[in-house]
Amino acid sequence: MSRNNGVKRKHKKILPIIIIVLLLFAVLCSCGKSDTGSKPKEKAKVETNVSNTKKDEVKDTSTDKEQTSVSSQKATTNNTQKSVTKTSKYKNKLLTAFANQKPLSFKKKRQMVMKQLDSLGRAIDSHIQLKNSDEPNKKREQLDYDPVGWHNYRFFYKKSSTSTPKAWLMSRGHLVGYQFSGLNDEARNLVPETAWLNAGNYTGMNDNNKYSMLYYENRLDDWLSENPSSYLDYQVTPLYYKNELLPRQIRLAYIGYKNDGSKIKITLGGREEAGDYGATVVYLNNTSPNAKINYATGTAVNTVKNIRSNANANNTSKNQSVNNSNTSSGSQTVYVTGGGSSDVYWFSKDNMPSNTNMNNIVTMTEQEAKDQGKRHSLKD
């Protein structure tokens, strides 16, 4: 009995120690789990914050870039508005030039710069800098290219109160003239221009017409001849309204350079005004007094009537009125050319073509002419 009691006393002493060890082990385990679980959560939280911060930064950066781009565009538009756009006085439309009016950098050598055709195939800008000795002396090549919007018509124009001959309305107009560029069949240097704008006249040339390019081209050519050691900077830019194929205006800009690069103001008279960077500019309308032009398509309508046709109609009306009784009976006298072999007859010899052989005309009544199957000439 005493031995068992001793064992029991030993057990009683060991048991609290075991309990304490177990409790310590449990505490240690719980602490280990708590630390292990909290650290990943804390790390994940930090990573989430970093990720969100990056997204916000990218978004803000993108917004800043967009705002900067817009501001830059507005600033550019405001800075170049004078040279990029021009309000047309004759139609009150805002026309656009797709090239700034600005002289080329002076390099003491010939330079020729042409912008590429735009998406509609239109010429945009042609610019040259040269001295008199740089002018071309080669044979002019054939012009085969038809610029976008090209149509042509032979239209009546008023030569005098009694004469309305016909002439071609349009020209395939060079922006920088051939006498400077030496380019004839170059798409980037060609636009449809009226003969009136291009050469100053319906037919032939008139370099006294201040509404024509020829007026300024010939005088700039003279300036080069008179200043052989100086350079001419000459820029020609078509101005378009929206997506129209034909330019409504042409802008000329010119300035001279001395051999040392200092600028020379050039004044030729005419329709000049002050341009940018010390240049002189001229705005010319792509119009013709005898036509109404559809600039969107290049088609046109003749606005001058044939005076001779009107006079003939009046004469015919008078003849028919005076000889009404004779006409109704078919006894009115008519004239047949070609010794009577012509298929038409005339009431008046004055209306016959100028090359008619008046010695070979046969006279008969209208009824006789009709019986032979002849008809009244539409030109009479």
* Two structure tokens written together for 228: 């052989």
Q: Is residue 313 part of a domain?
A: no
Are residue 141 and residue 219 in the same domain, yes or no? yes
Tell me whether strands 333-336 and 166-168 are parallel, antiparallel or unpaired. Answer: unpaired
pTM, entire model: 0.61
| Residue 101: strand, helix, or coil | coil
Q: Is residue 317 part of a domain?
A: no
Q: Which residues face 173 on adjacent strands?
A: 191
Last residue of a domain, one of 84, 107, 128: 84
Are residue 52 and residue 7 in the same domain, yes or no? yes
Instruction: Report the alpha-carbon distance of residue 361 to residue 267 in Å, rounded.
Output: 62
Are residue 96 and residue 69 in the same domain, yes or no? no
Instruction: Report the alpha-carbon distance of residue 203 to residue 186 in Å, rounded.
Output: 24
Instruction: Could you list the beta-strand ranges (E) of 214-354.
Output: 231-239, 249-257, 263-264, 272-274, 280-285, 291-293, 300-302, 333-336, 344-345
Last residue of a domain, one of 41, 62, 84: 84
Q: Is residue 310 part of a domain?
A: no
Are residue 138 and residue 195 in the same domain, yes or no? yes
Are residue 97 and residue 31 in the same domain, yes or no? no
CATH classification of the domain holding 114: 3.40.570.10
Instruction: Report the alpha-carbon distance of residue 137 to residue 374 in Å, rounded.
Output: 59
The number of folded domains in the chain is: 3
Are residue 172 and residue 62 in the same domain, yes or no? no
* Two structure tokens written together for 77: 């538009």
Q: Is residue 335 part of a domain?
A: yes
Are residue 98 and residue 205 in the same domain, yes or no? yes
Q: Which residues face 272 on adjacent strands?
A: 282
Are residue 75 and residue 101 in the same domain, yes or no? no
Q: Is residue 232 part of a domain?
A: yes
Q: Is residue 134 part of a domain?
A: yes
Are residue 168 and residue 264 in the same domain, yes or no? yes
Instruction: Report the alpha-carbon distance of residue 187 to residue 210 in Å, rounded.
Output: 26
Boundaries of domain holding 338? 322-376
- Quote the DSSP letter at residue 346: B
Q: Is residue 203 part of a domain?
A: yes
Are residue 342 and residue 217 in the same domain, yes or no? no
Last residue of a domain, one of 31, 60, 84: 84
Are residue 201 and residue 216 in the same domain, yes or no? yes
Report yes or no: 245 and 148 within 8 Å, Cβ to Cβ: yes
Each residue's pLDDT expressed in tens, for the chain with a length of 380 residues: 444 445 445 555 566 677 776 777 665 655 544 444 444 433 333 333 333 333 333 233 333 333 322 233 333 333 333 444 454 455 678 999 999 999 999 999 999 999 999 999 999 999 999 999 999 998 888 899 999 999 999 999 999 989 999 999 999 999 999 999 999 999 999 999 999 999 999 999 999 999 999 999 999 999 999 999 999 999 999 999 999 999 999 999 999 999 999 999 999 999 999 999 999 999 999 999 999 999 999 999 999 999 875 555 455 445 554 444 444 456 788 898 888 878 788 888 888 887 788 878 888 888 888 877 788 887 77
For residue range 219-256, what is the model confidence (pLDDT) as tens digits?
999 999 999 999 999 999 999 999 999 999 999 999 99
